[in-house]
Amino acid sequence: MLGDQLAGVAQTAYTGDGFGALQAFMTSGSPEEFLDRVALLESVAGHHNDVVDRVASAQAVAEKAQLSAERAAAEAQRQVDEVTAKQADLQAEIAEYQARYTALTAAQQEEADAAHGGRTLAAPPPSEVVANSAAAQTAVDTAMAQLGDPYVWAAAGPDSFDCSGLTQYAFAAAGISLPHSSRMQATMGQAVSRAELQAGDLVYFYSPVSHIGIYIGGGRMVHASTFGEPVKVGSVDMSGYAGARRIV
Catalytic residue set: 163, 211, 223
Whole-Å CA distances, 11 to 8, 19, 24, 43: 5, 14, 20, 18
Q: In sequence order, which residues have a C-beta less than 8 Å from that of residue 146 and are 6 or more positions away?
A: 157, 161, 166, 169, 170, 222, 224, 231
Cα separation, 148 vs 205, whole angstroms: 22
- What are the b/e assignments for 207-217, b being 16+ CB within 10 Å? eebbbbbbbbb
